[in-house]
Amino acid sequence: MKVGFIGLGSMGLPMAQRLRSAGHELTLYARRPASLEPFTGPDVAVAATPALLGARVEAVGICVFDAAGVEEVLFGPDGIAATAAPGTVVLVHSTVSPAQIRAIAERAAGHGLRVLDAPVSGGAPRALTRELTVMIGGDAAALADVTGLLAAFSNQVVHLGDVGAASQAKLINNTLLAAQIVLADEAMTAGRSLGLDLEGLATVLLTSSSSGVGSGVRLRAGSLAAVADSPAGPTLAKDVTLMAEVLASAPGRDLVEVAQRLVTAIRGHRDPK
C-alpha cells in the first residue's frame, strides 16, 4: 500500500519502521531532518511538505502530540488536505479529545478524506513486535481498507464505534494508567509509614498480584517526581486533563481525581513557581 507517515517520535518511529519492514511503499514527512535518519535508503521517500506527501499516498498515519499538530499537517499551509485524493484514509494515532477528532473528521470529509480515530497503546517495544493495541472509531469500510496496514504493528485492532469513541477509550486507558501510578506511590508511602524495607516492598509489588504497567512505572522510577520528570509526563498530564473535560461531572470522576494527583506533580515539577 502507498502509505504516508507523519510524527516520528517515540511512538511513531517504531510504527513507521514496521510499515517499512512490512513492505509498504512508505513516504515520510518530518520538520526535523534528524527524525528521518533511521530511514536512509532507497525504499523510503521523503516529502518536503505534508502536501507533497498527501499527493503520493492512499493512506496516512499521523502521530503528532496534539490536535493542533494534527490540524496543522492536514489543513495548514501545504497541508495534506490540499493534495490527497478523495477516499484517502487518514489514521489519527494522536491522543486527542473526542470533540477534537470529530471536528477534524468533519472538516476532512469536506476534502473527500476518510478519517479514522486510531489511537494506539502498548509502547515502542510492542510496536516493533507487532503487538500494539489500536483503538478505532469511524467507518467500517475505511477500516477494512487499512487492515493490512495496521497489521504491520498491531495484533489487536478494536473497532469501538463512530469517530470519537476510540479517543474516549484511549483517554480512559491513560487516565487509569496515571491513577495506577498514583496508587503505587501511595502504596510505597504506606510501606514507609510502617517501617518496611522499601526496596523489598517494591520487589513484592512488582512481582505479586498488584503488579501492572502503571505500578511498574512508579516503582521502577523510584518516586512520583521521577515519573513527573520522565518523557511520559507531559503526555499523561495532557490526557488526564482531556479526560477531566470529557467527563465533567459525569460518573467516573473518581478515576480522574486520583489521576490528577500525578498531573499536579508533573506541573509542579516542570513549573516550580
Residue 241 φ/ψ, nearest 5 degrees: -65, -40
Separation in Å, CA 269 to CA 63, 220, 237, 239, 260: 26, 19, 12, 17, 14
| Residue 273 annotated in active site | no
β partners of residue 60: 4, 90
75 burial via Cβ count (<10 Å: 0-12, 13-18, 19+): middle
Residue 123 φ/ψ, nearest 5 degrees: 85, 165
Q: Please give the sequence-ordered ranges of beta strands (E in DSSP) within 108-220, or none if there are none.
A: 114-117, 120-121, 132-137, 154-161
CB 206 within 8 A of CB 171: no
The Cα–Cα gap between 101 and 99 comes to 6
Query: With the C-alpha atoms ordered 225, 214, 63, 2, is the resulting torsion angle positive or negative?
Result: positive
Active site positions, annotated: 170
